[in-house]
Amino acid sequence: MSDANQRNSEPRARYLVNGKLTNESALPNPIQNRGFRFADGFFETIRIAHGKAQHLELHFNRITNSLQAHRINKPVDFDLNSFSHAIDTLTEANALNQGGRIRASFIRDGGGRYTPQSNELMWVAECESMDQNEFCINEKGIAVDLFSDMRKPASPLANFKNIAASLYVQASIWAESKGLDDALVSNEQYHVIESSRSNIFLVSNGVLYTSGLDSGPVGGVMRAAIINVALANQYKVYECNLTPQELLRADELFLSNAIMGIQWVSSYRTKRYYNQTSKDLVQLINESLIR
């Protein structure tokens, strides 16, 4: 079979536009939308396991809060049930019945320059498969260090996954240039709040510590899921300010996000870490998955 015939025989990816299934040819023109022109919006990344969207209620709660913070109108018929149905339609249309990920982008619709002509919502979702069906702890610990070229202000939009992500892009480039796996990000008060793509947890004497939302990290869905499952299993969890010195005193350090779950950190500068709590929490998260 020729390459052209093989491409034609492959199933075409399907997408969602405002909850309706569509082909790539019917997607909105990116040049003409405010997401491209002004980064005027936010996005969600949702993990699929066993063909099911995980932690969807937590995601929808953050979507609702993000719309309010961005002053984008929430459609009357856009609720958890309609969103869940749309996501199920997308995964079924793309035969995503094991592991995968969805990215849903939420953009202020219409024209205008800095002052928009409309505050209505337009959203688009895409998906892709993943080799892992459940969350897996990384066999090799990752190496991190503190990115100090830029700092994140604790603004009213700080806790959301905004399309404007220059700080995280720069932090990722810096980490790669240093031979690191990820870069830690601090706020204007020099507290360590997250990494370029994840929330951060410390473990000291069996107690979990994570940066408080008032410090400016993204309010991660996996962060919330870990806190919930940890408290349900008699772990103590504190949301507080984290300093570089506290990272050096911790027994364990791990990162969390909705797609990868938990990644344990093996080294921060001269410090080396264990990973037993990370392993235990990954098992608890997997036990709580919707199947």
**For position 114, which CATH number holds?**
3.30.470.10
- Amino acid 45: pLDDT: 98
Split into its structural domains, the chain has a count of 2
- Amino acid 12: pLDDT: 83
Q: What's the whole-model pTM score?
A: 0.94
Q: Does 9 score more than 60 pLDDT?
A: no
38 and 109 inside one domain? yes
User: In this structure, what is the dihedral angle of CA atoms 247, 153, 218, 115, given to the nearest 10 degrees?
Assistant: -170
**Position 4 confidence tier, pLDDT thresholds 50, 70, 90:** very low
Return the amino acid letter for 221.
V
Using one digit for the tens of pLDDT, what is the confidence trace for 169-194?
Answer: 999 999 999 999 999 999 999 999 99
283 and 146 inside one domain? yes
**Position 10 confidence tier, pLDDT thresholds 50, 70, 90:** low
102 and 167 inside one domain? no
111 and 9 inside one domain? yes
Is 64 inside a domain boundary? yes
Q: Does 7 score more than 60 pLDDT?
A: no
**For position 150, which CATH number holds?**
3.20.10.10
Q: Does 43 score more than 90 pLDDT?
A: yes
Q: Does 112 score more than 50 pLDDT?
A: yes
SS3 state of residue 280: helix
Is 207 inside a domain boundary? yes
- Amino acid 30: pLDDT: 83
Is 137 inside a domain boundary? no
- Amino acid 73: pLDDT: 98
124 and 236 inside one domain? no
pLDDT (average), residues 47-53: 97
Q: Which of 103, 129, 155 is the last residue of a domain?
A: 129
Is 136 inside a domain boundary? no
**Bridging pattern class, strands 182-187 and 142-152:** parallel
Q: Does 200 score more than 50 pLDDT?
A: yes
Q: Are 287 and 228 in contact (CB under 8 A)?
A: no
SS3 state of residue 21: strand
67 and 151 inside one domain? no
Q: Does 3 score more than 90 pLDDT?
A: no
Q: Does 26 score more than 80 pLDDT?
A: yes
Task: Report the distance separating Cα 240 and Cα 214, nearest Å.
Answer: 9
Task: Report the distance separating Cα 267 and Cα 137, nearest Å.
Answer: 16
Mean pLDDT across the chain: 95
Q: Which of 129, 151, 184 is the last residue of a domain?
A: 129
110 and 160 inside one domain? no
Range of the domain at 81: 3-129
86 and 216 inside one domain? no
pLDDT (average), residues 88-107: 96
154 and 113 inside one domain? no
Q: Does 1 score more than 70 pLDDT?
A: no
Task: Report the distance separating Cα 24 and Cα 253, nearest Å.
Answer: 41
Letter string b/e over residues 105-129, b meaning 16 or more CB atoms within 10 A of that residue's CB: bbbbbeeeeeebeeeebbbbbbbee
123 and 149 inside one domain? no
- Amino acid 62: pLDDT: 98
221 and 123 inside one domain? no
158 and 279 inside one domain? yes
* Among candidate residues 186, 179, 187, 204, the one with its CA nearest the CA of residue 254: 204
- Amino acid 104: pLDDT: 98
The CA-based angle 238-42-194, given to 5 degrees, is 30
